[in-house]
Structures are given as C-alpha cells and as structure tokens.
Structure 1
Amino acid sequence: MKHSNVFVQTAVLSLLVALSLPAYSWTRALTFEQGAIGSKAQSGSDQDFDDAAGGSYITDERVLTGSKAAKLTVTGGSTAFGEWGGIINYPELLRKGDEVWFSVNTYFPEGFNYDSTGGGGHLKFLRIHAQKSDGSNSGYNDWYMNPEASTVPHKFIYEGQQQWFEFGAPSDEVQRGRWETYEMYIKFDNVPADQGGTAVVRVWKDGRLLREITGAETLNSSSDTSDRAHLFTYWNGAAPKTQFMYVDDIVVTSDTPSNRDASGNPMVGGASSGGGEPSVRPAAPQLNVE
C-alpha cells in the first residue's frame, strides 16, 4: 500500500509538472529565399508554401526584403484552387485557448482586379482552417476583401457561426503599386469573448488595428483544432482576368510576437508597416495580363 501511494503521488506530481510547462510554440516564416528563380514556390522547403500553390513562383521581379519573393498568378475564368496562393501547414495543431498570428506583405500591381463576382461578391484572403476531432472540415476563420470602391473594404466571418463583421474605411482598401502589410490574429475558442469566452479576432493593415472582434466564435466546438493557414487559394465566382501579384515575408506563428500596436496588442508587424522604404527591383514587363 505504501508503494502504491508513492506511485500515485509520483504520477500526480508528473502530471502537474507537465501541465505547468509552457505550450510548444512555433513559427513558419516564408521568405522564398531558398528556391531558384522561376521555380514553383512549393518545393518542400519550410520557406515556401506546402500545398495548393501551382501558380506561385519564386521571383526577383518585385522584392520586399532579401533577394526573392513569390509571384502569385491566377488564370482568368478560373476559381483556381491549386493554382492561386497557397497553404501553410502548422508544425503542431492549435487548440482551444491557443493563439495564432498570420501576417503577409502584398504588392498588387497597377491594373490588378481583385473583384469577385460570386460567393457573396468578396475575395477570400487570409484564412485560418478549423477541423473536427476526426479531421473533417469544421469551417474557416476568413478575412475577405470586398469589391473595389465598397463603402467598407473588408469583412470577417467564422464559417461555423455565419455572422459577418465588417471593418476598415474606404482608404483601407488595396492600394496598388506599393507594398502593404496585412495581419490577422485568432484566439481559439468556441465561445466569443462577448459571451464570457476567450475567442477574439484582430485585424491590422500596415501596423494599424482596423478592428478587434469580440463577438465571433473561432472554433465550432471545444474539441476542434486548427491545422493550417491559407493565403487566397480559391476565387469565388472565378478570377476576372489572367493576372499576378507579389507576396513576401509571410509569417504564421503561435509564439507571441515582441512587436506591439498602438493599443499594446502583440503583433508580427512587417517591413512595409514600419515606415521604411522596402527593397524593390524594377518589375518585369507585364505580359498576357488581360
């Protein structure tokens, strides 16, 4: 009996120690520096996309930092899954109570048309996937871009909740011909902060908080997990024309960033949101973009 008590006490102590240890944190940083110019930006490197990036290429035509970036292409008339943008897998699943930051630097050339004519008339942009315990889809935490010249340029929805949250002034829509930084933060919970839970969404552009959303669920169930992030990947209603844009220095992380916004919220930030001039090479001639 004495030995049994010792065993139980040791097991309980081990459990308490395990629970007190900090959660494993990870960071995916996509800089696109390892690939050869002109190769697919889905090579198996941890510095580029993991899936659905058939139209994304390593380029030096337009670069924010370093010597390379990614050129994202889309074919007119296509909804383009497997071609447009890409998927970033997590090194480890995130669960209720965990957090994730998803930051991307974008360059939309003059003439780029980001309007969507189907699926509600908005373009899928930054997307955080949630899944059920059996691995099946449970919905996306989706940042959408509304069509150009909309009164409100952006909106968020968690597909498991089906409630829209709009944000941004007209001046916060895409500005072509320059690098911009967009970032989304998710605190995972099936109960919104407004209802006593911890689910929170924050969205930034160029380091400025556009909205803190406290009325959204970010999981459908307490047992759901998040396994990956999507940049674009599907064009609702089909792309209006064949065209391309650039991205650089994408970060997806569960590790609390050291940067803070004006309200003190942790954020990744980015080279294009710090006020400095990005490293830019002259753009290549734009062929077959109509």
Structure 2
Amino acid sequence: MTFEQGAIGSKATGNAQNFDGAAGGSFITDEKVLNGEKAAKLTVTGGSTAFGEWGGIINFPEALGKGEEVWFSVNTFFPEGFDYDSSGEGWHLKFLRVHTSTTSGENRGYNDWYLNPEGSTIPHKYICECQQRWFDFGTRSEEIQRGQWESYEMYIKFDDVPQDEGGTALVRVWKNGKLLREITGAKTLYGPDDISSRAHLFTYWNGGAPKTQFMYVDDIIITNETPNFRDAFGNPYTTGDTGVSRPEPPELTVE
C-alpha cells in the first residue's frame, strides 16, 4: 500500500494501494512522504475511541489458516507533540493487529501489538486474545521517536499450539530492522480450524484519544510470500536493513 493513487486530500480508501475500510479519518497527503509522492495522513478526534476513523483495515485476498504465515509492516511518522498514550481499557494503544475467526465468521480475537504509555520501561507488548497471555518487548530507546520515519513489522506463524509446546505458532517483532523479540510461547489461533482474513492498523483508541491529532504512514506491506530480505539472525522480513531507507522490495502479494 503506497497511497500513490487518489487525489491529495481524498480518503485513503477505494483501491488496491489504500485501506479497505474503517478509515474515515485517513487521507492521501504529500505533507510527509517516505517514498514516491504520496502517503497517508491518519487523523483522530480527541475523546473518541475512533473505530471507523482512526487507521484502517486491510482485507486479505484469501484467508490464512494453521501452518500458514504472514508479514505485516508499516512505516510511521509521528509529528512532534503527538500523544499516543491511552487512558483506561488496559492503558495501552492498539497498533498492528491481525484478526482471527472461525470459518463461519465468529470472532476469535486478535494477534495484537500494543504501545505502552510513553516513558514505560518496556514500550511494547504482544497478546493473542485467543490465549490472554502478555509478552513484553523493547527498551526505552525503542519507544516511538517523533519527527522521523520509523519502521515496524510483525510476523505470525498461525497455529493453535505454541512452539514451546511442540506446535509451530511463532511471532517476531522488529523496529527499524532490529529484531526486538521472538515469541515462542504464544498461540496465534484459538482452534486448529480457525482462520485469519484481515489486518488492522490501529482502528480503535483504548479509552479515547487524548486530543485531536494526526500522524503519517507509508509503504504498508502485508504478505504470505517469504520475503527476500533477512535480519541479523537470518529471519526473513520485508523491511530490509532498516525499513526506512531500503532497496525497492520485490513485488509481494498474498495468494
């Protein structure tokens, strides 16, 4: 998703390079751009939990199931003064999210990367709502840095049995090309027949946004094709050395 299609100021929805839904406050912009000529400006209204406004949903062309995998990466620019804290509902902000369900569409919860309040000793956490077990990662230096482009990426291997228990469920998380944690104790599906058919960037502000504000995103990649890039440990990922200044990635699609 490069956001290159569409007129400046129009909603960042409606074509393959944009969000598929829940993106009423996301607009095509040229104010801050990582690559190309356009990016997306994401706005949120103060006091609102903002579903349908904040961020957006990306639908997969086909559902993924047990034994399959997905990479989800985004480049972000948070302006000076942006307040990403949340109040209530767990005191953390939903960030990268991969939804799971039964084949009939019954909600099974999300694989969720959360942002802890600014100044937390550990800035990030992950949970599969199918399991309700938290995994913390990152150091103070790896919290959001304002006024610059940064990259974030989450990899998920889908299974209802964690790798630590003999299954294959696995999660990896990176910031700016650095592997922050490999999570081997988490389920990523509730049951063996469950599926995943969409991803969310933000979409809900726990406790309500502290003020009306905006940030920018560019070059979102979601794929189940193994990327060509490798991190320092040999793990495949989409964001190259940093995810911010990188070679042009290969064409990656979900089959």
TM-score, L = length of structure 1: 0.84
Whole-angstrom distance in 2 between the partners of 1:214 and 1:246? 32
What one-letter code is carried by the residue in structure 1 that aligns with 2:239? Answer: G
**Which of 211, 234, 246 is residue 264 of structure 1 equivalent to?**
234
1:118 Cα deviation after fit: 1.6
1:61 Cα deviation after fit: 0.3
Whole-angstrom distance in 2 between the partners of 1:127 and 1:196? 25
Which residue does the alignment assign to 2:157?
187
Given that residues 139 and 160 in structure 1 are in contact (C-alpha distance below 8 angstroms), is that contact kept between their aligned partners in structure 2? yes
Structure 1 outlier segments of 4+, above 2 Å: 270-276
Which residue does the alignment assign to 1:217?
187
> Any idea what SS the aligned residue of 1:101 has?
strand
Whole-angstrom distance in 2 between the partners of 1:99 and 1:267? 12
Which residue does the alignment assign to 2:7?
36
Shift of the 92–135 alpha-carbon distance from structure 1 to 2, 3 Å rule, reads same
Which residue does the alignment assign to 1:113?
83
Bigger strand share: 2
Given that residues 64 and 271 in structure 1 are in contact (C-alpha distance below 8 angstroms), is that contact kept between their aligned partners in structure 2? no
What one-letter code is carried by the residue in structure 2 that aligns with 1:138? Answer: R
1:22-101, aligned counterparts within 5 Å? 30-43=1-14, 45-101=15-71
Given that residues 176 and 241 in structure 2 are in contact (C-alpha distance below 8 angstroms), is that contact kept between their aligned partners in structure 1? no
What one-letter code is carried by the residue in structure 2 that aligns with 1:74? Answer: V
Bigger helix share: 1
Given that residues 105 and 270 in structure 1 are in contact (C-alpha distance below 8 angstroms), is that contact kept between their aligned partners in structure 2? no
Shift of the 212–272 alpha-carbon distance from structure 1 to 2, 3 Å rule, reads closer
What one-letter code is carried by the residue in structure 1 that aligns with 2:147? Answer: G
Given that residues 177 and 240 in structure 2 are in contact (C-alpha distance below 8 angstroms), is that contact kept between their aligned partners in structure 1? yes
**Which of 229, 233, 238 is residue 199 of structure 2 equivalent to?**
229
- 1:116-154 CA-to-partner distances (Å, cap 9, x unmatched) read 002110000000000012111101000000000000000
Which residue does the alignment assign to 2:93?
123
Shift of the 196–271 alpha-carbon distance from structure 1 to 2, 3 Å rule, reads closer
> Any idea what SS the aligned residue of 2:141 has?
helix
Give structure 1 stretches of 5+ with no counterpart.
1-29, 277-290
> Any idea what SS the aligned residue of 1:171 has?
helix
Whole-angstrom distance in 2 between the partners of 1:190 and 1:94? 13
Given that residues 52 and 84 in structure 1 are in contact (C-alpha distance below 8 angstroms), is that contact kept between their aligned partners in structure 2? yes
1:275 Cα deviation after fit: 4.9
Given that residues 229 and 240 in structure 2 are in contact (C-alpha distance below 8 angstroms), is that contact kept between their aligned partners in structure 1? no
> Any idea what SS the aligned residue of 2:20 has?
coil
Shift of the 270–56 alpha-carbon distance from structure 1 to 2, 3 Å rule, reads farther
Aligned residue pairs, count: 246
What one-letter code is carried by the residue in structure 2 that aligns with 1:113? Answer: D
Given that residues 94 and 114 in structure 2 are in contact (C-alpha distance below 8 angstroms), is that contact kept between their aligned partners in structure 1? yes
Of structures 1 and 2, the larger Rg is shown by: 1
Given that residues 34 and 244 in structure 2 are in contact (C-alpha distance below 8 angstroms), is that contact kept between their aligned partners in structure 1? no
**Which of 208, 214, 221 is residue 238 of structure 1 equivalent to?**
208
Which residue does the alignment assign to 1:208?
178
In the alignment, does 2:125 pair up with 1:149?
no
Given that residues 181 and 270 in structure 1 are in contact (C-alpha distance below 8 angstroms), is that contact kept between their aligned partners in structure 2? no
Which residue does the alignment assign to 1:7?
none
Give structure 2 stretches of 5+ with no counterpart.
247-255
- 1:58-96 CA-to-partner distances (Å, cap 9, x unmatched) read 000000000000000000000000000000000010000
> Any idea what SS the aligned residue of 1:212 has?
strand
In the alignment, does 2:109 pair up with 1:134?
no
TM-score, L = length of structure 2: 0.95
**Which of 102, 114, 129 is residue 72 of structure 2 equivalent to?**
102
